[in-house]
Structure formats: structure tokens, C-alpha cells
Homo-oligomer: A and B are copies of this chain.
Amino acid sequence: MAEHTIGTYLIDQLAAHGVQHVFGVPGDYVLRFYQLLEQRGLPIINTCDEQGAGFAADAYARLRGLGVVCITYGVGGLKLTNAIAQAFAERVPVVVISGAPGLGERRAHPLLHHSVRDATSQLRVFEQITEAAVVLDDPVTAAYEIDRALSAALQAKRPIYIELPRDMLSVPAVPLLAVDPVPPASDPGSLDEAVREAAARLSAAERPVIVAGVELHRFGHQDLVADLARRSNIPVADTMLGKSVIGEHEPFYLGLYQGAMSHDEVRDYVEGSDCVLLLGVWPTDVDLGVFTARLDPSLCIAACDEQVSVGYHGYARVRLADFLIRLCAVAFPPRTLDGVPHPPVPARTPCGPDDRITVTELYRQLGAFLTTDMVVIADPGDAMFAAADLLTGRNEFLAPSYYLSLGYAVPGAVGAQLACPALRPLILVGDGAFQMTGMELSTAARFGLDPIVIVLNNGGYATERPILDGTFNDILPWRYSRLPELLGAGRAVAVDTACQLEAALAAARDRGRGFYLLEIRLSAGDMSPALRRLTAQLAAQTAA
């Protein structure tokens, strides 16, 4: 084994897990590590602000299984808190590497720039929002701590925090003998019984249904659930957080289930089922239609990462993967998909030259526009909620639809396209969210990326207005389509009519000229049926 320093060991472990880019913003405590990263073939993608780097690393991790954001101490690390909290909440394995003052200089001088209360402040913050938080302050244990933290990230699918005092970078590391971490295994007895009971219930059911959730994405079980559906002919609904887990073109695809916010035929099918198999579904407020879902627990089988429940009883230590593999091997009684609803492809109506663009028409055209070489990235707001009715086919669909942090989509697209250069990002973002982080299109331009950016300009926080309106929901009306003049890069167009959108989307197919921004100028008050259903529920919660 080649001799390692703590710095080279850390980098090589990241590379071994498929990391090829690192996101961040430079600062003096981390400059030498940046240099080392580049020397070892991991280029730094420096974003406008650290927040953007955090979201980019998150999207990178959602697509590749691991993402890295590397920043300086305090002023860098603490700008990441929200992005990493979102990664924690939505189970995305992001590695935060923070440069830090050297141990030597800390002893000599307590009032070092970028420090808060004491040398542990940033660590304590990240302990709240990560699966593991370590400081590489001991050469004897540093390599072990790196292994342990990375293993925690990959098994739990959660972010971790690694703090690197700058004078430890070149200290020799002591790797342990290569010991593969033992992944948690299912208990054979629990697994047998859980599969037997689930199979019996599904087989006996008149109208079973599968609801596919987010963990199928995080743990990479998309093919398993498709296989199960194909073998059993049990129809599958997905959830907003699990959107794209199942190909929406599949014959067994039912539609998106979201409680009272679902389309009637999907809701009736799922809630009328006598056996609902929930696979990797989290009961979040948004995914349950702000708690309007009516699922009788006695009729449900729910399988998550490490446990299965059937009716009101639970099986511990049953891994989702094992459960799915075993279910796929069950010989279910023959069924057909006759009578199973399938989401209709919205009818195309020829548009008149003056037909004003609407959210509904926008998403209809986007549904037709999508090709399999795109990844859809949606920001919270109608940009995301309207996508409930967008058939994404085989496309990856990235959206923080549980934690719901605004500002995710534009920097997320930077991470997504670098993670999968074969996929062109289609960004869906509201004007409020765009004003937060939209300038990260600068980063896209700098690194030669070419996302399509759909800005839903509805004059402010349109998701808040139906809940409770005030001038605080207004924002300055930027002329979003002038952005290329400021950046000296990209293309942009303002869209007022349905016909203009058709032309703009046609032009968007032309690649090689950087980002292409479409400013969709919506009428005040226009929103998708999905958002109307959601905000009615949220307003009831707010007034409660």
C-alpha cells in the first residue's frame, strides 16, 4: 500500500466511491486541500455562494450515490447548514469537508478569523444535522475516522461532516488493514415470516396496489419494484418524494398518490384497495396530501429501510432490499391490469397566437417536450407541485419535496449535470426561489453546462398567497430574460403566450450555447390544480 497522508487518504477514499467533482468556495483554511484535490484529479467546482455548493453536492449525490462539498471554516461551513439539513431530512449522502485552523495555531492564538464561540462550535452545529461528525485531529485514528464516517454516509444515506485542521493535511495517515464494513443484514426468521405474510395478503387481495416511495430511489431499488410489478401485475402509484422511482410510461403505472391532492381515479384506487403495499414511503405531510390520505393501517403493508409492518404489527431487522428480492420470487396468482387507470396524456389543443400561457399549458407542453436524456429538477412552489401532473416518463426527477427548501433547483442542476453529463437538466423554478440562488447559472456557464431553466414568474410567493397574503409575499419584478446580459453567457427569452412557449422549447433543443432560460410570465393568481389543492389544506393548518 502506498504511503498516505491524511489528505491523500481522504481524497482517495472519496474517489474510490465514485466522486469525480468537489463543490465549494475557496478560503484560506482549505486552500492547500483544494490544491491537493486538483493534483489528484478531483476538480473544484466553485459556486457563487456556499449554499449553492451544498445544493449542487446534494443533487450530485442523489444521482451518483455520494457528493462532496468542501469549504473553509465558519464563514464557509455555516453557510451550508440548511442544505445539509435538507440532505439529512431527505436521506442524501453528502460529505461536508471543512478546512479549519491548524491545531498549532489554535493553541497559540484563540481569536482566529472565522471562529465563533470556540473550536468546537461548528462541529456541534453539524452534529445536529449529520449521521457522523468527526475532526481529523489525531494521526493514529484519522484514517479510521474517515472510513467510519464514509461508511455511515453510505449505509444510512445521510450527510456526514469531516473537519480537517490545516496542519493535519500532510501528516502521515495510518490506514487500518482493509476491513469491509459489514452491512446490516436481515434477520432470517423475521424476513421469512414477513415475506410469507405479505405474500399471502397480496395474493388474497381483490385489488392490491403498490405505493412506491423515496427510499427505493435512495437505496437504488427501482428495478426491483418494477420487476415486482411486472411479475405480479399489481399496479403502482408513486409519491411526490418518490417521483421517478417508477417509469411513468409503464403499463402498471397508476399515477401520483397524494391523499386528497391526488387525481380522483388514483385516490379512489389506492384508498379503495384492500391491500396497500407501501415501499420506502415516508408519511410526510406533503406526500400524504397534508394529512388527507385515508389509508386504513389494518390493510397496509409498509416496508422501509430496516423494518416491515403488516397491519398493526412490526418486523424489525428486515431490510428493504431483502424483502423486495424475496417478494419478487413469489408466485402470485395471475392478474391482469384491465380496469386499472393510467394517467391520460394531456390532449394537445392547437394554440391561438394570443392564448396567454398558463401553468396547465406549460406543464402540458413540458410533458411532450421531455426526452429521456433529461433530468428534471424542481424547486418547491408551483414549479414542483404542478409537476405532480407532469408525466416524467423515464426521467429522473429531483425535488426536495419533504424538507422543501427554496433555492435548490438551479444549483442542484449544476451538480446533476456534472454527476451525469449525459443528462441535460430541465430546471423548474419559481421567481421567489430564483431570486435566492438563480445566479448559480453563473456557475453553470463557467463550467460549460447547458440547463434549460423554466422560471415561473408569477410575481412573488404565489404558494404563500392563498395561505395568507401580504406585501411580504411580493418581490421586485426582475426582468429574468435579461440575465445573459449580466452574465455574458447563455440565452433567454420571455414567454407570454402558448405559441411563444412552443417556439422557445423548440429552440431549447439546440444545444451547445450554454443555459437557456425561459421566463414564463404567468397571470396573477394562475396556479396549477395541484397547488390549489395543496394550499387549501395548508391554509386550514395555518388558521388552526
Contact A486 B482 (CB under 8 A): yes
Contact B472 A34 (CB under 8 A): yes
Contact B468 A479 (CB under 8 A): no
- A125-B129 contact, Cβ under 8 Å, with A472-B34, A488-B478: yes
Query: In the bound complex, what is the Cα–Cα distance between A473 and B446 (angstroms)?
Result: 13
Restricting to A163-177, which residues have a CB under 8 Å from any CB of B? 166-167
Q: Is A407 an interface residue (CB 8 A)?
A: yes
Q: Is A4 an interface residue (CB 8 A)?
A: no
Q: Is A107 an interface residue (CB 8 A)?
A: no
Question: Which of A109-117, A203-211, A266-274, A369-377 is found at the contact surface with chain B?
Answer: A109-117
Query: In the bound complex, what is the Cα–Cα distance between A283 and B404 (angstroms)?
Result: 42
Query: In the bound complex, what is the Cα–Cα distance between A117 and B88 (angstroms)?
Result: 8
Residues of A in contact, count (CB < 8 Å): 90
Q: Is A467 an interface residue (CB 8 A)?
A: yes
Expressed in whole angstroms, the minimum distance between the Cβ of A27 and any Cβ of chain B is 7
**Residue interface mask A33-59, B partner, CB < 8 A = 1:** 011001000011010110100000000
| Chain B residues whose CB sits within 8 angstroms of the CB of A128 once the complex forms | 116-117, 121, 124-125
Contact B472 A26 (CB under 8 A): yes
Q: Is A220 an interface residue (CB 8 A)?
A: no
Restricting to A350-397, which residues have a CB under 8 Å from any CB of B? none
Expressed in whole angstroms, the minimum distance between the Cβ of A531 and any Cβ of chain B is 13
Contact A31 B116 (CB under 8 A): no
Which of A34, A82, A114, A488 has the most chain B CB atoms inside 10 A of its CB?
A82
Q: Is A470 an interface residue (CB 8 A)?
A: yes
Residue of B nearest to A438 (CB): B439
Residue of B nearest to A284 (CB): B111
Partner pick for A283 among B78, B111, B117, B475, CB 8 A cutoff = B111
Partner pick for A79 among B81, B112, B404, B486, CB 8 A cutoff = B81
Query: In the bound complex, what is the Cα–Cα distance between A443 and B436 (angstroms)?
Result: 12
Residue of B nearest to A464 (CB): B26
Q: Is A180 an interface residue (CB 8 A)?
A: no
Contact B48 A125 (CB under 8 A): no
Query: In the bound complex, what is the Cα–Cα distance between A483 and B483 (angstroms)?
Result: 9
- A31-B436 contact, Cβ under 8 Å, with A475-B446, A489-B476: no
Question: Which of A230-238, A314-322, A410-418, A536-544 is found at the contact surface with chain B?
Answer: A536-544
Partner pick for A542 among B32, B405, B439, B485, CB 8 A cutoff = B32
Expressed in whole angstroms, the minimum distance between the Cβ of A275 and any Cβ of chain B is 23
Partner pick for A477 among B404, B488, B541, CB 8 A cutoff = B488
Partner pick for A486 among B75, B461, B483, CB 8 A cutoff = B483
Residue of B nearest to A116 (CB): B85
Restricting to A436-459, which residues have a CB under 8 Å from any CB of B? 436-437, 439, 442-443, 445-446
Expressed in whole angstroms, the minimum distance between the Cβ of A86 and any Cβ of chain B is 8
Residue of B nearest to A401 (CB): B113
Contact B464 A28 (CB under 8 A): yes
Residue of B nearest to A87 (CB): B116
Expressed in whole angstroms, the minimum distance between the Cβ of A480 and any Cβ of chain B is 8
Query: In the bound complex, what is the Cα–Cα distance between A476 and B541 (angstroms)?
Result: 44
Partner pick for A544 among B104, B439, B480, CB 8 A cutoff = B104
| Chain B residues whose CB sits within 8 angstroms of the CB of A324 once the complex forms | none
Which of A105, A475, A538 has the most chain B CB atoms inside 10 A of its CB?
A475
Expressed in whole angstroms, the minimum distance between the Cβ of A153 and any Cβ of chain B is 15
Query: In the bound complex, what is the Cα–Cα distance between A291 and B104 (angstroms)?
Result: 14
Expressed in whole angstroms, the minimum distance between the Cβ of A114 and any Cβ of chain B is 6
| Chain B residues whose CB sits within 8 angstroms of the CB of A542 once the complex forms | 28, 31-32, 166
Query: In the bound complex, what is the Cα–Cα distance between A112 and B414 (angstroms)?
Result: 28
Query: In the bound complex, what is the Cα–Cα distance between A343 and B368 (angstroms)?
Result: 69
- A31-B129 contact, Cβ under 8 Å, with A78-B85, A81-B78, A286-B113: no
Query: In the bound complex, what is the Cα–Cα distance between A89 and B479 (angstroms)?
Result: 38
Contact A406 B75 (CB under 8 A): yes
Q: Is A403 an interface residue (CB 8 A)?
A: yes
Contact B89 A445 (CB under 8 A): no
**Residue interface mask A156-168, B partner, CB < 8 A = 1:** 0000000000110
**Residue interface mask A281-313, B partner, CB < 8 A = 1:** 011111000010000000000000000000000
15 more CB-based (< 8 A) A-B contacts, given A28-B541, A32-B468, A446-B475: A26-B464, A31-B470, A31-B542, A75-B406, A78-B81, A78-B85, A85-B121, A88-B117, A89-B116, A109-B285, A111-B283, A166-B542, A167-B544, A478-B486, A478-B488
Q: Taking beta carbons and an 8 Å cutoff, which residues of A are in contact with B?
A: 24, 26-28, 31-32, 34-35, 38, 43-44, 46, 48-49, 51, 74-75, 78-79, 81-82, 85-86, 88-89, 102, 104-105, 108-109, 111-117, 121, 124-125, 128-129, 166-167, 282-286, 291, 402-407, 435-437, 439, 442-443, 445-446, 461, 464, 467-468, 470-480, 482-483, 485-489, 538, 541-542, 544
A-B contact pairs, 5 of them (CB 8 A): A38-B470, A49-B51, A104-B544, A124-B124, A125-B125
